[in-house]
Structures are given as structure tokens and as C-alpha cells.
Structure 1
């Protein structure tokens, strides 16, 4: 396993550096590293590390969502109001609808499998969006109308909404039971409970840190451990009551930001360093799960359905921003910022395959293609348009 870890880090960093120099997202190099080292090409990775890859990918998702929470100012969202709420779910719902329309026709999937595919692809990427929106806030672009904050919060909650929906639909697919009101009720209940638990634990930690003085590194370890317990709590209670562990993670970070801004800034910096290592394993390991021959056969069809669904997403963004004070350029920038996919697709894209769903390999392949297409496209568009489209 140690050799595999060394190969993942060294080759992942090397290809990430090359893509960075080409002005493309580093994560593309990391995914290619996984494809090259994985069982469908060189097959040099230890099976042990592949067996725990889903857990490692989930750890990476926890880290990036905590970082998003630590940069999220709820007061800015209150200023935005209704559009902030709509951006959390409307674009994702429209994109899922796009997959439900085309999935059965182009990919031979059932409507349920098409919906599951839609929930995997519909989440935007915190790995692409979080650092870029934080950069915009630091430079002051769009902050007067809280545009970076709107995108940051909307994208983060969008991820949670989609993951909760994904969990509900895959449970439905595995149980082969009929769709019921109970499945629909799980979504708002899990979101509300996740937020409440995150806020309560966040307030307790703030008081604890005031009483017990310890290094920021120790505080990070405590928060990280509690975040993992949120996920454990979600998995343990999912048969009885739905709780979004990931939303609890983000709410905890946002509570720390609201209660102690200086601490959140210091912790955010440390989480950024932690993410530098976590993202390598996240994207390399998802690349390692891809059957390259199957991906090549499905490649063009995947690109077509992804682009079609993105058009639906853009329509959802524009509908969410109706009757706002954003001008045409700002609305266009917001829609561009909602394009990139990477983190969530890497974290959950392989789960349907590991669950034994017949559509698992198709879903994984489309998930990886969506990363390869939209991550560089979204990153390039955000980086090259924000100074022209935002004040």
C-alpha cells in the first residue's frame, strides 16, 4: 500500500503541475493519474487502497464543505434573499430533469436510473467554486451585490440537496419499492436536522474553545473528527430518521464563522492546506475506478447528454434570478459559475456501481466525463470573465 500511496502522490502532483502550467484545472491531471495507474491500464495500485477509496473520497468531500462553511457569511445571504434559496435547488432540479428526458433515449436507462444519474451529475464542484469565490471576495468583485456569496452558498447547499436526493433514489432502487411521499419528505427533514445539528455543535465548540485554550491545529482535528461523526450518525440513523451529515458539516463551519470570524479565517487557511493532500486522493482514486474502454465507447453520447443537461441548468439559474438587481452580465457570470463538476461526482460517482446497480458503470463513466468536460470549461470561464462581467 505504501508504494501505491507514493505513486498516487508523486504522479498525481506531477500531472497536476503540468495541467496547471497549461492553465487547466489540476484535478484533470489527477484523474488521468488514476486512469493510468488503475486496474484498467497499468494495474499497479494495491487492491487494499482501492477497497477503501469510497471512504477516502468522502473524507475529501467533508474537508472541502467545511472550508466552504468557514467562508460563508449568512448575513450576506439574507441580503440576497429569495434568489439565494432558489439557487440551492432550482438549477439542480432542472439539470436532473434534463437527464430524465434524455437518459432513457441515449443511454438506455430506466427513468429511475436516469434520475440517479442526474443527481450524481447535478452537483456543482466545491473544489472549483469555493477557492474562486473566496478569491473574488478578497478582491472585491461582485461583493456589493453579494454575488460570490450567493454562488458559494447556493453551490454548497446545492451539493447537499443533490446528495440527499441521490441517497433517497438509490435506496429506492435497491429496495425496488414504489415511489412514496416518505421519499419526498426525507429531503426537507434531512436538510433541517442537518442544519440544526451543525449549528448546535458549532455553538458548543465555540464555547469550549473559549474555556479550553489550545492550538488551532488541535481545533482543526476536533472539528474534523466531529465532522466524521456526523457522517457516522447519518449512516447509523438512516433507517429511522434522515439526517444530512454533510449539511451538518457545512453548518458547523458557518456557525464558527458567525461566532468567531478570526478563528474561522485561521481554520480556513489550515483546511486549505489539508485539501491540498485530500484532493489528490479524491481525484486519483475516482480515475482508478474508470473502465477506460467502456468510457471511450460511451464518450460522445456522454458529452451530448451532459451539454443538454447543462442548458437546462442554465435555464434554472436564470429563473432563480428573476426580479433581482443583477444585470445581464452578472446573471451570465452566475450561470457560468454553476457549470463545473468535480468533487461530488468524484465522491459518489462510483457508489451505484459498488451497490450493484445495473446502471452503475454507465453512471460512473458519465460522471467522469462530466468532470473532464465541465471542470476545465467552468474554471477557464470563471477565471477569464469575472473581471469583465463583475464590478
Structure 2
């Protein structure tokens, strides 16, 4: 009889249980996540009625792989540029939630009579929501295209980054029994440094590699290469002391900026689904029914505190961040669970022998309970919003609306602000690159040189020279480059500010001298280091033109890779709740073959089709005679309440059509204000020529506090009108210089 390894038999039992419960829950129209957890309980070691998993440790390994691929897939959908756009509001919401839940968890533990360490770890467990559970719930409920979903994903990423810091802090507390602020600061700086290095290096190298290898790749090779890149970044993250899941997310975010992103996302889908199912079943396997019965009251109390605490903290954070009542409540109702990072924190306490044995099973049980409630909480968010809105006084609602609109308004930036901001950002970026080059040289270059028989003084000299040559373009950029030349020139033209500008220039050069001096001082005397630093800066100034040309090629290559696939299907949020989202048109959609005039989408649904993407080409803006064809990708502007019925209409089956196209361009939602001297003033939308000049579509106007969605072409512009235009940034930029004053070029 052939011996079958336990891993294979366990996987067979697990997937069989998952498959059966999936079919049942599909039939019952219930979230699949709940079915997976029940399947795990049935095949777990504590339920003897069905065949039982033999080696749970192996299943945990598969579950870890599932988390990696789930976060890799999340990174593909939400790139760094998207996270930056929602990062401010998301960071505020996540920070408030983490602080409140840490405090609530600690106080709950103390009220239950637990030890200090149990209470502290409970706070850490409760403050991190489950990324994987929310992703799956959003997919199954079809709400990923809604406005609040982008904010929630931003909150989840901030939480995951905070979880890494929590692991460091809790480890320090467990060992030293006291708060160590220096270790916390070191962890923050280390995390920020490695994130910057990985992102900058990844954007510079990976899109270039994929372009070079594109002719050699079919679906199979692209899948293998993508998974290899994901796991390589997982290894790098682990080597640097970070979570493997963080590495997977970073690589997904880097690949999201490439032209292969959508193809990779499609290919990785089945792999993500398989391992994701294993992860959720493994959560159910860890649930101990007897322990749940013994601590039923405690589990119920902590579950209620978790749900209420997260709803109130995230909703409050959303209101403070100016996201509006509806979006804030929807966000708060979506993150009411704990998940994978909570399990890691609970495991840490057991590993270090500083927490009681009951804490981990309680954490798993609370996770199961809150996972069960998550889909229902998301569904209840809209009814809850309507109830809250109905009981709020009109004065409060008006105040919230004014605050929300004001939070999105950004005034024209002064030259000084532009200049200082560009200096700070560029110096931080170049400093990271220079430090990374120095670290690589220290760890690998010198040993490489010594390996070829060069030692002693000459090895130090060669290491220093090669390192400085590699650093030269970035040293020049840090010390001498002007990122905002126009703002710099305008400030320099005002004589009273020239002395300040000169001081800034000397300060930047001084930073360059210090960096070079510090590097050289590691191998030579301080005097030699200072002299070499001054000489290097002088050489950079003398060879400025050649170095500038070389640096320009590096910068152009980086920006080309970064903007190669401009993410325009993200949720650019306008102050009154409208946003730009996209829908792929299946060959069986009901709108196939119809013209925009025949379909009357604007009249029937209250949304605008602003752009049509067809193959590698873009129609912007489409005319009323434009037809919809199979595999088109349409960009729609509107609010959630209008977009959702339209999405359902698009997915209905209908006739087929043919295929055609136009030139592919970048598409964004731009916000602009009409100035007193604008040629647009007192002209109608139709007479203004915006459509013809910019290939743009005016989708909204703010006028004296009123919001006009999808304005009629006969509407006349007035002074102070804030226009929202969907179109090509490069074309709208020409309009900016001639007709309007820019308030916010990207939202």
C-alpha cells in the first residue's frame, strides 16, 4: 500500500470541506468567509464527527502563504500613488482607531482582573483589523468601487505598518518590562528607510526589466516571474526584520505601476483564491469549542467592545478628516473585526511566555465572531447612516457639510512653500539613496574587492572611489539641483529674499559635505574626510552639466516607469461624494452596441461616461454617437447611489458588437477655479471650448456652496466657480495657464 503524506491528505480534507461549505453558502447567499471558518471548525482537532486534520502546523504554513498572496493581490490593486492620495485621511482615521482600541483593550483586561501584560497584549490584538477578511467581504458584497472602500484600504495598510511597530514595542515591553522610546523611534526610521529604498529601487528596475522581457513572456512565464518577484521581496522583508506580508504588499504596489499590472492581477487570481481559502479554513481550525464555552461571557464582552470601539473610532476619525457622515459611517462599519496580525501578536505573547494561555484562543474566537458579523455590519452601514442623518439637527448637518467641503479645499501654493517642500522631499529621497549605496558598498563591495587580492589601504581607496562615483548624480541633485526652477527664479528676482536663498544653497551644499565626510571618515581620518568632502562638492559644481545630463536620464527613466501605467480607476473623491471609477464591459453586457445617445445613461442613471478605453487606445471625451463595444473599459463619474444601479445595469446580458479605438492618454479628475480674468467667465460650457481644447468633460461645478452635478452644456460660468473636469492632465495644463487658476490639480 502506497503511503500518502499527511500534508496531501490534510489538504484534500481541507479543500473538500471548503468546497462543500462554499456551495452551501453560495446557495444560501451568505458570505463565503463564514463558510470557510465553519469548514475549519468541522475538520479541526476539536470536532470528531468528520475526518480530522492530522498536522495543523503544515496547514498554518499554507495559511501564511495565503496571507502573502492576498496582500500581493491587494498591492496590485492599490499602488503607492493611490495610497498617497488617500493617505492623509486614512492615516488620521487609523491613528485615532489604534490609540482608542489600545486603550480600550488595556482597560478591558484590567476590568477582567487580567495581568498587566495580558491587558497590554489584548490592546495590541484589538487595534488591528483583518485585511484579508475585509478584502473578501468587499468582493462578495460588490462594494469595492464605492467611495469609502479606498479609505478603508488605506486604513488597513496604515494598520499593517503600525502592527510591525507594535510587534517591536510589545517585544521590548515583554523583555524589559518598561517602555523603550528609542527602540520605537529606531523601528519607525528603519521601516521608513526600507520602504523608500524598496519603492525607489523597484520602480527604477522592475518595469524596465518587464519591458525588456515582454517579448519573451506568455501567460505562464509572466505568472512565474510575478510570483518569483513577490517571494523575493518577501525574503528581503524578512531579512530586514519585517513581516513577509509587508514585502508581498510592497512588490504588488511596485508591479501596480507597470503596464502588466492588470494581466498579473488576472493571472494571480486563482492562486490567491486557493491559498486564501486555506487561510480562512485555518482560522476555523484554531477555534476550540470547549474554550469558547468556558470563556463565552468574556468573548462576548470583548467582541462587543471591538465592534463598538472600531465603529466609533473610525467614524470619528473620518469626520475629523473631513470625509463626510456617510463615508465615515460606512468606513467605521467595515473594519469591525480582528485578524491575521492579531494572531501574530497573540502568538508573540505565548512565545515570550508573558501572556496567559487563554489569551490566544480568546483572540481566535473574537476574530471568528467579528468575522461572522463583518458582512452584516457592512450591509447595515447605509441604513445606519440614514437613521443618524434623520435624527441629526439641520444645524449639525450643515456644519458637517461645510467642514467636509472645507477640508478638501487647498489654496494656491506660494513660491516659498513650493520651494521648501521640494527641497525637503528631494533631500530626503536622495539621502535615502545615498545611504543605501553606502550600505551596499560596506556590505558587499569591499569584500568583493578584497576577494580579488586587493587589500589594506588600496582596498579602502578603491571602495571609496567606486562608492563616490555611484553616489555622484544623487549628491549633485541633493546639493545643487533645483526641483522647482520657476519658483526659485521668481524668489531670486526679489532682491530682499536673495540672502535667504543663498543661505539655503550653502546649507544644501553643507549637507552634501557632511554625507561625503561621514562616509570617508569610516575609512580615513577626520581631516581627510573634510577635505575630500569639500573637493567632491567642488568637482560636482565644475562637472555640473555632465552630471546633470546623466542624472536627467536616471530621473526620466524613473518617472517614465512610474507613470507608465497611470492609475485612473482609483477613487478620486470630490467634496460632495462624487468620484471617478471604472467598469470593464463584458461581451454579454446589456449596453453592447448602443450609442451614448441611445443608451441615455446620463438621463437614466445620473452618471457621466467620461472616458472609454478600448484596447491600447482611449476616447476622451466620447461623443453622443460613440458606441460601446465588448471589452471596453468605461470611466464613470458620479456618486455611489447612482453608480451602483448603473453597475448592475452594465452587468446585465445583452447583444454583442464590434471593436474600434482612439489614442490612449492619461486620465484624471482635475479641480480648478475660474479667476476674475478668465476668458471662461460668463461663457456657457458649450461656448467655452473646454471639450474641444482639452478633450475634457466638465462633470461638476461648485458655486457659492451649491454642488451642480453633471451640469448642462448651456450653464454659464461665474467668477469663483470651482470646476471638476475629467480629462488629460497635459491638455488641461494648457488650459490652466490661459484660463483658470489651479486650486487642486489632483484629488
Q: Shorter-chain TM-score: which interval?
A: 0.7 to 0.9
Confirm or deny that 1:188 pairs with 2:191.
no
Q: CA deviation at 1:293?
A: 1.1
Q: What residue is the counterpart of 1:221 in the other structure?
A: 224
Q: What residue is the counterpart of 2:305 in the other structure?
A: 308
Higher Cα radius of gyration: 2
Confirm or deny that 1:56 pairs with 2:62.
yes
Q: TM-score, normalised by structure 2?
A: 0.46
Aligned pairs (5 A) from 1:314-353: 314-345=311-342, 348=344, 351-352=347-348
Q: Distance in 1 between matches of 2:34 and 2:278?
A: 13
What whole-Å deviation, never above 9, does each CA across 1:201-260 have from its counterpart, x for those lacking one?
A: 35422211111122344334334334334444444443xxxx454333323222222x22
Alignment CA distance shift 1:192-1:269 (3 Å): same
Q: What residue is the counterpart of 2:263 in the other structure?
A: 266
Match of 1:294 among 291, 294, 316: 291
What whole-Å deviation, never above 9, does each CA across 1:307-358 have from its counterpart, x for those lacking one?
A: 223333233213422444433222111111121334444x637624762636
Backbone CA RMSD of aligned residues = 3.0
Alignment CA distance shift 1:183-1:326 (3 Å): same
Consecutive unaligned residues in structure 2, runs of 5 or more: 1-5, 386-639, 642-747
Q: What residue is the counterpart of 1:136 in the other structure?
A: 143
Task: For residue 41 of structure 1, give the secondary structure of its aligned residue in structure 2.
Answer: coil
Q: Is the 8 A contact 2:128 2:159 kept in 1?
A: yes
What whole-Å deviation, never above 9, does each CA across 1:142-181 have from its counterpart, x for those lacking one?
A: 2xxxx321111221331232244135414642x3553312
Q: Distance in 2 between matches of 1:186 and 1:128?
A: 31
* Number of residue pairs aligned between Structure 1 and Structure 2: 374
Q: Is the 8 A contact 1:306 1:370 kept in 2?
A: yes
Q: What residue is the counterpart of 2:151 in the other structure?
A: 150
Q: CA deviation at 1:381?
A: 2.8
What whole-Å deviation, never above 9, does each CA across 1:268-295 have from its counterpart, x for those lacking one?
A: 2233322221122212223323332112
What whole-Å deviation, never above 9, does each CA across 1:113-168 have from its counterpart, x for those lacking one?
A: 32223323332222232255564354xx32xxxx3211112213312322441354
Q: What residue is the counterpart of 2:694 in the other structure?
A: none
Task: For residue 315 of structure 2, give the secondary structure of its aligned residue in structure 1.
Answer: helix
Q: CA deviation at 1:197?
A: 4.3
What whole-Å deviation, never above 9, does each CA across 1:70-110 have from its counterpart, x for those lacking one?
A: 1114445444453122234331232122111111322x432
Q: Is the 8 A contact 1:95 1:310 kept in 2?
A: no
Q: Distance in 1 between matches of 2:193 and 2:223?
A: 23
Q: What residue is the counterpart of 1:282 in the other structure?
A: 279
Task: For residue 260 of structure 2, give the secondary structure of its aligned residue in structure 1.
Answer: helix
Q: What residue is the counterpart of 1:252 in the other structure?
A: 251
Decide which moves more: 379-388 or 151-160: 379-388
Q: What residue is the counterpart of 1:114 in the other structure?
A: 119
Q: Distance in 2 between matches of 1:364 and 1:20?
A: 31
Alignment CA distance shift 1:202-1:274 (3 Å): farther
Q: Distance in 2 between matches of 1:349 and 1:30?
A: 23
What whole-Å deviation, never above 9, does each CA across 1:30-73 have from its counterpart, x for those lacking one?
A: 223323322223373223xx223443222111111111111114
Q: Is the 8 A contact 2:226 2:264 kept in 1?
A: no
The structure whose residues are more often helix, as a share, is 1
Q: Distance in 2 between matches of 1:308 and 1:54?
A: 28
Q: Distance in 2 between matches of 1:307 and 1:73?
A: 34
Consecutive unaligned residues in structure 1, runs of 5 or more: none
Task: For residue 358 of structure 2, give the secondary structure of its aligned residue in structure 1.
Answer: helix
Alignment CA distance shift 1:17-1:365 (3 Å): farther
Q: What residue is the counterpart of 1:205 in the other structure?
A: 206
Q: What residue is the counterpart of 1:84 in the other structure?
A: 90
